[in-house]
Amino acid sequence: MQITPIKAGIATMLVIGLIWLVYVFISGTGKSETGTLDSYARGEMGAFVTLADAPAQPAMAYADPDGGEHHLSDYRGKVILLNLWATWCGPCVEEMPALNRLQQQFGGEDFDVVTISFDREFAPVTEFFEREQIDSLPALRDDSFTSHNLVGALGLPMSILYDRHGREIGRMPAPADWDSEDAHRLVQAAINRG
């Protein structure tokens, strides 16, 4: 039996097709193992990025207005959206009511929004929370003013999504519309991935 050029071409195309299918399967499998949410970085969440070598979650104490101490590790077992902000930062102030609504809608056993202020005192923070009726978010402050350096934030606001083990999923290095469907899909995907 003689192999004709047409049969050889068909065989070659079948082998190439099979290799392509294996590649697509392996690539898809690898993506789900790493759990990146890059596909949700669209629309209102277009600036959401994942870092290959994301910094560790800060292991430091944050103060509350009553003198209490809080750590991000207190939220282990939950997905958290850490928001670094200040009352003197216009874009930070604009997105805070939407973050409050995000906490109201998704907050609970599986998810929390954690806000860390870089104000020098609590008075502007508590006054802002009262005036804007921010009643679902914690009023925490970074007394050392160092956590933005620890997470590699170049400015404010900076929002970082952490998984249930405190590992960074991705970050929004800009203000965001947390009321948007794009934001809700991103948060829900982070919660669902477990």
Q: Are residues 59 and 139 in the same domain?
A: yes
pLDDT of residue 2: 65
At residue 3 the predicted structure's pLDDT band, cuts being 50, 70 and 90, is: low
Residue 155 sits in a domain whose CATH number is 3.40.30.10
pLDDT of residue 194: 67
Q: Are residues 46 and 15 in the same domain?
A: no
Q: Which domain holds residue 45?
A: 36-192
Give the distance between the most distant pair of CA atoms in the chain.
Answer: 89
Distance CA 60, CA 42 (A): 32
Q: Are residues 30 and 42 in the same domain?
A: no
Phi then psi for 33, rounded to 5 degrees?
Answer: -70, -40
The domain total for the chain is: 2
Q: Are residues 87 and 28 in the same domain?
A: no
| Predicted TM-score (pTM) of this structure | 0.80
Q: Are residues 65 and 9 in the same domain?
A: no
Mean pLDDT over residues 134-145, rounded? 96
Q: Are residues 28 and 41 in the same domain?
A: no
pLDDT of residue 145: 93
